[in-house]
Amino acid sequence: MSKIVAITGAGAMSECMRQINPDVVPAFPITPSTQVIEDFSQFVADGKVDTEMITVESEHSAMSACIGAAAAGGRVMTATSSAGMALMWEMLYIAASMRQPIVMSLINRALSAPINIHADHSDSMGARDAGWIQLYAENNQEAYDNLIMAPKIAESMDVRLPVMVCMDGFIISHCVQTMQLEDDDTVKAFIGEFESTYPVLDTKNPSTWGALDLQDYYMEHKRAQHMAMKNAKDVVEKVSAEFADIFGRKYELFESYRLDDAERVIIAINSVCGEIKEVIDERREAGDNVGLLKIRSFRPFPYEEIAAALKGVKIVTVLDRSESMGAYGPLFTEIRTALFDAPEKPMVYNRIYGLGGRELFMSDIHDVFEENKRYLETGKVEKITDYLKVRGG
């Protein structure tokens, strides 16, 4: 039976892992994802799961063990953050290229230097082209729900790609929120039994993983990965619809908040969307037609769907919580691409915010809406890209 609990975001992820009961969890804890693995290791010690927990010497080893366990025929999960993901870098590409449906909780945290342990999206955005499906969550409930759906998405025979479920470090991972934990048996039934493909432990049907692949077939394998990621968009929607039927919470590739008649829109990812919704409600009460488009699926990226959702919008402010040195922000780049062929393009510009955990208050979001109001009235974007709340600006 489902129950309402007060729990941290990291605690909710570990509870979900307990319900999934993966075959293998290799892990090396790193702030702020540590609680995910700490709590899950207690479940292992208490006999609440029959998972093989592997404590390794580094995050590179953790993902290496994930790949080996998945190739052997197991359902595999792990968790990491920031520099931990960076140390996995080589193995992230190998996991995706070998089409292993590994599921990872990624607690978003800034990358060094200088050393910083707080939230931004530089880790996951840096890995956006590694071949992993990326789902993002505004709050504890969404992170938990995304993690329930992740194995079913990853393991689809039309996809067979790894999935990272992302949430903001400390802001969500360490924040206690009231949310609904679902019944263990219902979660297990929704996910279903794991079906391995070409497991190396099936000695009666020998298979090879990680073979040398030079110019003769490498491009064909890359194209196959690309097609699997394209397929993933439909699978994410299908699994989300099944989830809604069973659990009653509906998720799309992105969330449209008061978007139908909005003229001025902010597009953002993860926890800041909660504050943006509050500001939108306040401004709506004052008669201001503003709205939010919150990204859930960054990979695969829903270009056509976003362009359709923004039809009739006059100006868009894209908030990036990561920097792409020498280029526009990663989310802004994708949104601009989505709008390139739109018959009626809104004005669109980019603002970088929240790096290293810097707060963005509701008053700052009001300022963003005032800025895009001014740009719309003058018909000119004064700065295509800029920083919010930075010294020397």
Determine the 3-state secondary structure of 82 from DSSP.
helix
Q: Burial, 193: exposed, middle or buried (Cβ in 10 Å; 0-12, 13-18, 19+)?
A: exposed
Helix (H) or strand (E) holding 379: none
21: left (phi over 0), alpha (psi -120 to 50) or beta: left
In the chain, what are the domains?
Answer: 3-247 (3.40.50.970), 254-387 (3.40.50.920)
CA dihedral 174, 178, 182, 183 (to 10 degrees): 100
Q: How many residues does the chain have?
A: 393
Q: Burial, 115: exposed, middle or buried (Cβ in 10 Å; 0-12, 13-18, 19+)?
A: exposed
Rounded CA-CA distance 41/247 in Å is: 27
pLDDT given for residue 392 in this prediction: 87
pLDDT given for residue 393 in this prediction: 64
Rounded CA-CA distance 186/390 in Å is: 47
The owner of tokens 């018959």 is: 343
Asked if residue 211 has a cis previous peptide bond (ω within 30° of 0), the answer is no
User: Among 274, 217, 104, which Cα is nearest to 266's?
Assistant: 274
The owner of tokens 């270009």 is: 303
What is the Cβ-side half-sphere exposure of residue 281, based on CA atoms within 13 angstroms?
7
Residue numbers in the chain where pLDDT is lower than 50: none
pLDDT tens for each residue of 325-368: 999 999 999 999 999 999 999 999 999 999 999 999 999 999 99
